[in-house]
Amino acid sequence: MKFKGKKVLVIGAGLAGCDAAMLLANNGVEVVLVECKTLFLNPAQKIKTFAELVCTNSLKSVVPSTGHGLLKYEMKGLGSHILDMGFAHSVPAGDALAVDRDEFSKKITENLKAHELIEVVEAEAENPLELQEKFKCDYTIVASGPLTTEKLENWLTNDLSGEDFYFYDAIAPVVDADTLDYSKLYFKDRHKPTNEEEGEQADYLNAPMNKKEYEEFIKELVEAEKVPAQKFEDYKFFESCLPVDIMAERGVETARFSCMKPIGLEMADGSIPYACVQLRKENLLGSAFNLVGFQTRLTYKEQVRVFRKIPGFSEATFIHLGSVHRNSFLNSRKLLNFDMSSKKFPTIHFAGQITGVEGYTESASIGLYVAWQILRKLQDKEAIKWPVVTGIGALVNYIMTVSKPSPSNINFGLLPPVELTKEERRVRKGRKKIKKEKASLRARESFDKFIEDAEGL
Ligand SMILES: Cc1cc2nc3c(=O)[nH]c(=O)nc-3n(C[C@H](O)[C@H](O)[C@H](O)COP(=O)(O)OP(=O)(O)OC[C@H]3O[C@@H](n4cnc5c(N)ncnc54)[C@H](O)[C@@H]3O)c2cc1C
C-alpha cells in the first residue's frame, strides 16, 4: 500500500472537495472531510447533503467540441466521482448533462460516508493549520467555495491573503467577436495615436454613440428588469466597480464620465463621439470582447435586449453575461504555487471556486487537479505543470497568470490558438466550429499522453 499512513484534510464537501476526497481515498489515502452545512446552511444552500448544485441543475454541455465537453473528458480520465454520479442521475437535457440534484447529492454523500478511508467531520473549519495538526494530516485542501464562512474568511484574510482576497464578483458581459457589425465600430486605444498604417491594431474596439442614442440607452438601463438582491448579497458596491445600471440610476450623465467616457477616443475623422462603449479583447485570438465596465444587475434576458441596442450589436451573441454576486476568491497568481499550494503555508492547498474559477465542472476539475498533485507529492514526486492545451491546464494557467483576478468558466479562448490549414482558413461559415473541433482534439490527445507519461501519477 503505497499511501499507507498518509492523510489529507479536505475542508468543504462541495463539488471540488467531494471530487478531491474521493480521488484521494480511491487511491488509498486517508481523508478527513470537514463540512459545516449539516450544522447550518448558507443562504444559497437548501439541502444538508454534499455537492449541492445551488442554482441550475446543469453540469453543462457534453459535446466534445465545447469547453465543458472537454473538461468532462478530462474529469472522466481522472476518475471523477462527481461526473459518474452526474451521469448516473441525469435527466433529459439535450446536449447538456442535467441531473436530479437531490438524488445526485444524496448518493455522493452516501458514497463518501461509506468509504472506509473517508472520515466525515461535521464542523466549521476556522484555522486550516490547526485542523491539519489536530487530525495529523500531511496536506490540506481548502475547498470552501464562493460562500466560505466568515470565520474561515477571517483566517484567510488575516493569516494568508491580506488584501488579495475578494468578496464580490462583478462580471461584465463578453461578446462573440464574430457577431459584431464592424462597420459601426472602430479600433482605438484611449489617448493613443492609431498606427493601423504600420499594421498595428489597437487593443480596444469602440462603439460610439450620439447624444440621442446615449440618452435612450441610459433610459433603457434604468427601466430594465434587475435581478433582485438575495439577502446574503445585500448589494454594497465599491465605488470603483459600480454596475453600469447603478450609474445610470445616479443620473443621465454619470456613465458618460465613467465607463462610457469618450475622451481620447477620436474617430477616423478626428471627431469625438458623445459617448462610447469600450470593448477589450478577452483573449489573444481576439475571438471575444469584454464590455469594459459593464458589470450589471440586469437579468440575462434584459442584458441581451438592452445591449443589442449598442451600435454594432444588433446581432450580437454573448459568450457570457454580466452579473454581480457574493463570491470569495483568492488572487491565486500572487498567493499560490501552480499546484495550488499556498506560498506561505506549503501544505495548505486550495481547490474549487475559491481559486478563481467559476462553475460546477470547473470547480470539480480543480479539485481533481489538486488531489492529483497531492498524490504525486505523497510519493515524493514533484508536482508537474499540465499542458496548457488541455482544459484543466488552461484553467490553471488562467488563474495563475491573470493580472486582475476575475473568475472564469472554461472556454476555448483560454487555450492557445490552433493552426488552421490554408483550406480551413478559406472556409467562411463554420470556421469557428473547425477551430473548436481542432482545439478539442489537440487537448484530448495531449491529456491522454500526459496522463500516460505521468506513469499512473
Ligand atoms: C448563488 C450562486 C449561484 C450559482 N449558480 C451557478 C450555476 O448556475 N452554475 C454553475 O456552474 N455554477 C454556479 N455557481 C457557482 C457554483 O456554486 C460553484 O462554482 C461551485 O459550487 C463551487 O464549487 P466549490 O466546490 O468550490 O464550492 P461549493 O460547492 O460551494 O462547496 C463549498 C463547501 O464548503 C463548505 N464550507 C464553507 N465554509 C466552510 C467552513 N468554514 N468549514 C467547513 N465547510 C465549509 C460549504 O458548506 C460547501 O458545502 C453559483 C454560485 C452561487 C454562490
pLDDT tens per residue across span 408-441:
889 998 999 998 898 888 887 888 889 999 999 9
- Is the residue at 52 inside a domain? yes
User: What DSSP element (H or E) covers 177?
Assistant: none
C-alpha cell recorded at residue 25? 481515498
317: domain range?
173-321
Question: What is the pLDDT confidence band of residue 232, given thresholds at 50, 70 and 90?
Answer: very low
Backbone angles phi, psi at 76, to 5 degrees: -60, -45
The residue nearest atom 5 of ligand 1, judged by CA position, is 55
Which segment of 234-248, 285-299, 399-413 scores lowest on mean pLDDT?
234-248
On whether both 379 and 429 belong to a single domain, the answer is yes
Is 14 labeled as ligand-binding? yes
- Is the residue at 1 inside a domain? no
On whether both 13 and 150 belong to a single domain, the answer is yes
- Is the residue at 58 inside a domain? yes
Instruction: Give yes or no for residue 313 CB within 6 A of ligand 1.
Output: no
Tens digit of pLDDT for each residue in 9-28? 999 999 999 999 999 999 99
On whether both 191 and 53 belong to a single domain, the answer is no
Which of 302, 321, 340 delimits the end of a domain?
321
On whether both 255 and 283 belong to a single domain, the answer is yes
Place of cell 489529507: 8
Q: What is residue 379's three-state secondary structure? A: coil
Number of the ligand 1 atom closest to the C-alpha atom of 351: 26
Q: What is residue 226's three-state secondary structure? A: strand
On whether both 245 and 270 belong to a single domain, the answer is yes
On whether both 134 and 54 belong to a single domain, the answer is yes
Is 28 labeled as ligand-binding? no
On whether both 164 and 239 belong to a single domain, the answer is no
Number of the ligand 1 atom closest to the C-alpha atom of 18: 25
Q: How far is the CA of 15 from the centre of ligand 1 (A)?
A: 7
Question: What is the pLDDT confidence band of residue 287, given thresholds at 50, 70 and 90?
Answer: confident
DSSP one-letter string for 53-110: --S-SEEEE--TTSHHHHHHHHHHHHT-HHHHHHHHTEE--TTEEEE-HHHHHHHHHH
Tens digit of pLDDT for each residue in 88-112? 999 988 898 989 999 999 999 999 9
385 neighbors 84 (Cβ within 8 angstroms): no
Our mutation pick for probing the ligand 1 site, out of 18, 22, 23, 35, counting the most ligand atoms within 8 A of Cβ, is: 35
Q: How many domains does the chain have?
A: 2
Tens digit of pLDDT for each residue in 310-341? 999 999 999 889 987 778 899 999 999 999 99
The residue nearest atom 15 of ligand 1, judged by CA position, is 359
On whether both 146 and 21 belong to a single domain, the answer is yes
Is 125 labeled as ligand-binding? no
Which of 262, 288, 321 delimits the end of a domain?
321
On whether both 28 and 135 belong to a single domain, the answer is yes
On whether both 316 and 348 belong to a single domain, the answer is no
- Is the residue at 367 inside a domain? yes
DSSP state of 123: S
DSSP state of 179: G
- Is the residue at 267 inside a domain? yes
Is 88 labeled as ligand-binding? no
DSSP state of 242: -
- What CATH number does the domain containing 107 carry? 3.50.50.60
Question: For the chain, what percent of residues have pLDDT higher than 70?
Answer: 94
On whether both 348 and 290 belong to a single domain, the answer is no
On whether both 207 and 250 belong to a single domain, the answer is yes
Share the mean pLDDT of the chain.
92
- Is the residue at 165 inside a domain? yes
Tens digit of pLDDT for each residue in 162-205? 888 877 767 789 999 999 999 999 999 888 887 666 556 788 89
Tens digit of pLDDT for each residue in 43-80? 788 899 999 998 788 999 999 999 999 999 999 999 99
Which of 284, 300, 321 delimits the end of a domain?
321
365 neighbors 399 (Cβ within 8 angstroms): no
- Is the residue at 2 inside a domain? no
- Is the residue at 347 inside a domain? yes
- What CATH number does the domain containing 245 carry? 2.40.30.260
